[in-house]
Structure 1
Amino acid sequence: MVRPRLVALACCLLLVLAGCVVGPAGSDATVGGGDTATAPPGSGGTPATAAPPADGIRVTVVEIVDGDTFRFEYENGTTDTARLLGVDTPEIYGENSPDEFEGVPDTEAGRACLREYADRASAYAKNRLLGEEVTIAFDANEPRRGYYDRLLVYVHHDGGSFNYALIDRGLARVYDSSFERGDRFYAAEERAMAADRGLWTCRDGTPGPAGDDETTATASATATPAGDGVVVSRIHADAEGEDGENLNDEYVVLTNRGDEPVDLSGWTLSDEAGFTYEFPDGVTLPADASLTLHVGSGEDTETDLYWGRERPTLNNDGETVTLRDEDGNLVAERST
């Protein structure tokens, strides 16, 4: 007769073994392939510009294959390849199909333009990610691995979503699938197309000017009536001297060109990488007055606010900032 204690022990062992899935040693989450794998809790459905989920996996980017594919290393030295979820940058190593990018003509000029943006997307990925420690996260609606056995991931770096930044800067199109962040990505794509940012200039068959790879060179005025005349009047991205030693010389200036003061409580200002500042309660911008938001730290005054960032944030090579009211409505957008 089998003793009850032995039966209980055997059952416990079976349950433990049934729940085990082997992943890279030293990693803090399972990353095995298979369509039935589920994303870590909290990863799916998070805002495109939100902080990474607490249970995301920290890895180091060791190689950029192209704008949407990279190789990375776990803490124990194991390496793997990842493909960014929800985005598709033009191809570097193969032929591009202009019909995949809405409005881009199927001509040699259209294909040449997309090749140019393939290089620009890859360069952007190298500038932002290569050698950096990032957090990767998964999507509950997508398998862990794609057709080429690459992990399908969101990449969060320094508080922003890299996937979202590619779309917002016009360096990629939305890759149509069932991923949970689709609504936000499509909204960003529509804004990039409307502004002729990045590869969407290829609809005219000609790349945008060098140096303005990810942004348009013009600034928009108030985009909706919600701002009552508030515009982004200046972006000062290149601080004097070393950017990291002079964070408060990176700043954005807002100006109220209206006739009435505007309450900025709960408004947000975001850069293209998704870093977002929320204006504190009680901040008011008087009529015909300006307010400067500095990237670094300091004591807020009526004319100067401080983001509290600990590293350079605004991109010296081209930046777009977006101002939204407390309800999320677009108020103004400016690019350099």
Structure 2
Amino acid sequence: MSLKSSLLVVCLVSAVVLAGCSSVPSSTTQTNAPAGETGDQSAGETTGEAWTVTITRIVDGDTVEFEYRNGTQETARLLGVDTPEVHTANDPEEFEGVPNDESGATCLRDWGHKASEFARSELADEQVTISFDPNEGPRDRYDRLLVYIRDDGKSFNYQLVKQGYARVYDSKFEQRERFYSAESEAQQEKVGLWACRDGSGGSGSSQTTDGSSGTTGLTIAQIHADAEGNDHENLNDEYIVLRNSGNDALDISGWTVSDEADHTYRVPSGTSLESGARVTLYTGSGSDSESELYWGSDGAVWNNGDDTITVRNASDDVVLRKEYSG
């Protein structure tokens, strides 16, 4: 074999070997991570490679969609955690100690929505750092990337467990002992979904479907979901009206109003309704008053067809739920 031919063979073999060395998904290798960005090695939540991405959509508490700097989009499943389902039925047996009955399933569904809203408030439209775990493959069976998310220097995966929004998803990920320790503490303190163990974390008897609440006197007096013209261009013609049908004044400071898609509005501090008083919650922007509140949303919230209005008090208990259809 000539020297020229030998060099050619060596080059080809080298190219094949190098091509087989990368276990990172092809879309990930195209992200051009900033120089020096290697994640938090001390937390043990990276293989040494990390990427800055933008969260574009919250699917639920443990699943998000994001975009790399080059515009490539992906779906990611958060490593090591499992939040209650919101799109399918929950199996209470997966959550240690939660009653395996309708009350347990209902309580978990409620906490699934809370986990989704927590993820939305912390991650939506944010630039975060994602990284992989050396003990796990890059993707699950649904072709979702398996990642850790770090936001403002904190592990979001870990926060889900610590604050009771998720259980630990048993696998071989490196941080499992740390996560199990946080889960054990949350269980002992009945934090978050673990309050479902004794029935104190669910919606209980305060949940209604007729637009009234026997425990607070709050009712939904009117729903105007279909704004004139394009709903997204006429936001203040989309509104709901809340009424205090009780005999006493009702302080609704810090209460939340949400739809089925987990868009959530929080009532400003100092907001109170006298007996018989009404307040209109407009989807768009404006100046709040005793009788008018403004969501400040940049898009329509309420479906013109079927939707559900859920009101929670400052302790995050459901006090009113109203289903409607167009």
In structure 1, distance between residues paired with 2:141 and 2:30: 26
* Distance in 1 separating the partners of 2:10 and 2:121: 52
Please identify runs of 4+ aligned residues in structure 1 that moved more than 4 A. 42-46
With over 3 angstroms needed to count, the CA separation of the structure-2 counterparts of 1:53 and 1:177, relative to structure 1, is closer
CA deviations over 1:80-109 (Å, ceiling 9, x no partner): 111001000000011101111011001211
Answering whether residue 11 of structure 2 is matched by residue 12 of structure 1, we say: yes
The CA deviation string for residues 245-267 of structure 1, in whole angstroms up to 9 with x for no partner, is xxxxxxxxxxxxxxxxxxxxxxx
Q: Secondary structure at the match of 2:6?
A: helix
The Cα of 1:47 is off from its aligned counterpart by: 2.4
Residues 47 and 133 in structure 2, CA contact (< 8 A), matched pair in contact too: no
TM-score, L = length of structure 2? 0.56
Give the equivalent residue in structure 1 for 2:79.
85
Indicate if the aligned counterparts of 1:44 and 1:140 stay in contact, CA closer than 8 A: no
**Greater relative contact order: 1 or 2 (C-alpha under 8 angstroms, separation 6 or more)?**
1
Q: 1:195 to 1:44 in 2, by over 3 A?
A: same
Q: Is 1:47 matched with 2:43?
A: yes
Map residues 123-162 of structure 1 onto 2, 5 A cutoff. Answer: 123-162=117-156
Name the aligned partner's letter for residue 14 of structure 1. V
1:56 corresponds in structure 2 to 50
What's the offset of the Cα at 1:14? 2.8
Secondary structure of the structure 2 residue equivalent to 1:164: helix
Instruction: State the match for 1:198 in structure 2.
Output: 192
SS of the aligned residue for 1:91 comes to coil
Contact 1:46–1:181 (8 Å) recurs in 2: no
Which of 19, 22, 26 aligns to 1:23? It is: 26
Aligned sequence identity (%)? 47
Number of equivalent positions = 199
Say what the alpha-carbon RMSD is for the aligned residues: 3.0
Q: TM-score, normalised by structure 1?
A: 0.54
Displacement of 1:5 in angstroms is 4.6
* Counterpart in the other structure of 1:322: none
Using a 3 Å threshold, how does the CA distance of structure 1 residues 93 and 186 change in structure 2: closer, same or farther?
same
Structure 2 Cα separation of the partners of residues 105 and 44 of structure 1: 38
Specify every segment of 5 or more residues in structure 1 that has no aligned partner in the other structure, as ranges: 30-41, 210-316, 319-336
Compared with structure 1, are the counterparts of its residues 159 and 53 closer, same or farther at alpha carbon in structure 2 (3 Å cutoff)? farther
Deviates most, 136-145 or 13-22:
13-22
Alignment deviations for residues 61-93 of structure 1 (CA, whole Å, 9 cap, x no partner): 101100000111111111111100100000001
- Aligned residue for 1:19, secondary structure, equals helix
After superposition, residues 63-78 of structure 1 pair within 5 angstroms as 63-78=57-72
